[in-house]
Amino acid sequence: MLSEYEAVIGLEVHIQLKTDSKIFCGCSTAFGGEPNIRVCPVCLGMPGVLPKINKRAVEFTIKMVLATAGTVHQESIFARKNYFYPDLPKGYQISQYEFPIATGGAVIIKNKDGEQKRIRLSRIHLEEEAGKLFHDTDDRCSYIDLNRCGIPLVEIVTEPDLRSSEEAYLFLSKIKQIAEYLDICTGNMEEGAIRCDINISVKSKGDKNYGTRREIKNMNSLKFIKRAIDYERDSQIQIIKSGGNISQETMLWDEKVGVTKLMRTKEESEDYRYFPEPDLMRLEITPEWIERVRKTLPELPDEKYRRFIRQYGIPAYDVGVLTSSRNLADYFEVVALVSKQPKLASNWVMVELMREIKETDISRIKVRPENLGTLITMIAMGKISSRSAKDVFAEMVRTGRNAEEIVKAEGLKQISDKAKIEKVVKLVLDNNRVSVRKYLRGKEGLFGFFFGQVMRETNGRAEPGLVNKILMDELNKRRGQ
């Protein structure tokens, strides 16, 4: 019933930049802690203060623009967005309006079937973050924390190119990934480091004209963004189907109930009275500056993806997972290069390592990638069995020691000595005469049992291929007896 309609979605994504200091003063941008401790006269909007632009914030913005193939303007202008709210000490937000730092550019998203879609960006600009209000602590009053006030924000505005909540999700994930690769944002959505406003309308499929849009404000969870879009799309379709009209309204997502609620109508919408910020000069970004920044750009997700496929010959799915974060990709790359076993490295990183970092951050894991590389080399060379390797890895996770050390200390080296294995095999078969007879009479399933016994006797250190062969030979010998 819903399929004849489709959503038309545009996003305004806000990314908190992780510069050391705020955009217009020297205060730290750290997260958490006591309220109102990372503030100064400038970010508190005391009388007589003036803003001073943080060059690093501009550079971070340029990085984002270059990474999304936008055009950096040599001259841009900061503007005041005027409105009253207690989280905004000056009564205006310093933002950009008519002349943003950049326009154009695009981000490529890829769905799970590998289909690509180009999402055009209309602009990227730099602005300051507001403070935070707490309404739930006390019924008589609200509290204000201005620590966040003045943290630099990059705003990325898309064209209305997205058609589903899934695409919006992919787009945001991609932006988050790029920001993480550029090392300009913590990417921590729970802390509000990435947030977005969603503009959404619906239209009949094939209709060239867009419907009237509503805006959902201030979303900061990928999961809720999907839900909010789906809810809003369905509710707009319902309204249209029942003969109603959508009016241009601003909505808020109520995550407890799972619905969007009216925040304000068009008539109530604010007139922000933008005008050029007279306390700041025009922002000049010379071509030389842009080139200097360009030189510092890391390999970006799409490039890395293509290179991994080319260089390591591992499946596209694996590459997708491994390049999802720059730290993970870098980690994998060291493991692969040290071990010279890309496929094995990919398996180990994607299974064993990913299991460990589910709980923690990759930067906190004690296993150094070159050590994991060595462990994999040992597996590949048959010096250690896969099973013992897992024990060694567990030990590495716990202590951070390197693989060779652990193997030596724990005596975990693989047993490849034919005579030694023969001895164990004989012992196992002698101890299980009944089973051997059953096997010889045709119950071949028991082979696995003997194999397991041998492995147990050798603490899993016996080289499996060798065990297999010797066990087979020995059983055959006994067939004749």
Least distance in angstroms from the C-beta of 144 to other proteins? 8
192 binds other proteins (CB under 8 A): no
Number of residues located near other proteins, criterion CB under 8 A: 28
Residue 327 host element (H or E) = helix 326-339
Taking the C-alpha atoms of residue 317 and residue 325, their distance in angstroms, rounded to an integer, is 14
Taking CB under 8 A as the criterion, the residue among 2, 37, 281, 316 binding other proteins is 281
- Is 207 in contact with 4 (CB distance < 8 Å)? no
State the binding string over 6-45 for other proteins (x if CB under 8 A, else -). Answer: -----------------------------------x--xx
Per CB under 8 A, the list member of 275, 289, 447, 449 interacting with other proteins is: 275
* Amino acid identity, position 170: L
Rank residues 53 and 415 by Cβ distance to other proteins and give the closer one.
Answer: 53
Which residues neighbour 259 within 8 Å (Cβ) at sequence distance 6 or greater? 231, 235, 253
Q: Is 82 in the site for other proteins (CB under 8 A)?
A: yes
Q: Which is nearer to Zn ion, 18 or 214 (CB)?
A: 18
Sole binder of other proteins in the list 84, 441, 480, 481 (CB under 8 A): 84
Each residue of 219-242: b (16+ CB within 10 Å) or e? bbbbebbbbbbbbbbebbbeebee
Establish how many alpha carbons lie within 13 A of residue 381's alpha carbon, considering only the half-sphere containing its beta carbon.
Answer: 10
Across 337-411, the runs of DSSP E, i.e. the strands, are: none
Binding footprint of Zn ion on the chain (CB under 5 A): 25, 27, 40, 42-43
273, interface contact from Zn ion, other proteins, none, CB < 5-8 Å by kind: other proteins
Q: Could you say which of other proteins, Zn ion, none residue 271 binds, taking C-beta under 5 to 8 angstroms by partner kind?
A: other proteins
Residues 187, 372: Cα–Cα separation, whole Å: 27
CB closer to other proteins out of 82 and 122: 82
- If 0-12 CB within 10 Å is exposed, 13-18 middle and 19+ buried, where does residue 332 land? buried
d(CA 276, CA 94): 9
When the beta carbons of 113 and 267 are compared against other proteins, the nearer one is 267
| 340 contacts other proteins (rule: CB under 8 A) | no
Element (H, E) at 346: helix 342-348
Give the number of C-alpha atoms closer than 13 A to the C-alpha of residue 365, restricted to the C-beta side.
Answer: 26
> What six digits make up the tokens of 349?
């990183």
Q: For the CA atoms of 417, 418, 423, 429, what is the dihedral angle to 10 degrees?
A: 130
User: Judged by CB, which is closer to other proteins: 5, or 78?
Assistant: 78
- Tokens 């990759």 appear where? 362
Q: Residue 49 Cβ, how far from other proteins at the closest point, in Å?
A: 7
Task: Give the other-Cβ count within 10 Å of 394's Cβ.
Answer: 13
The distance of closest approach from Cβ of residue 262 to other proteins in the complex, given in angstroms and rounded to an integer, is 19
- Give yes or no for residue 278 binding other proteins (CB under 8 A): yes
Of Zn ion, other proteins, none, which one does residue 447 interact with (CB within 5 to 8 Å by kind)?
A: none
Residue 80 sits in the site that holds other proteins (CB under 8 A): yes
- Residue 300 binding result from other proteins, Zn ion, none, given CB thresholds of 5 to 8 Å by partner type: none
Rule CB under 8 A: say whether 91 interacts with other proteins: yes
Does 86 participate in binding other proteins (rule CB under 8 A)?
Answer: yes
33 binds, among other proteins, Zn ion, none (CB under 5 to 8 A by kind): none
Mask of contacts with other proteins, 45-64, x by CB under 8 A? xxxxxxxxx-----------
Task: Pick one of other proteins, Zn ion, none as the site partner of residue 43 (Cβ within 5 to 8 A by kind).
Answer: Zn ion
N- to C-terminal Cα distance for the chain?
75
Per-residue CA distances from 370 to 307, 336, 351, 391 (Å): 21, 9, 17, 18
Q: Which residues bind other proteins (CB under 8 A)?
A: 41, 44-53, 80, 82, 84, 86, 89-92, 144, 271, 273-275, 278-281
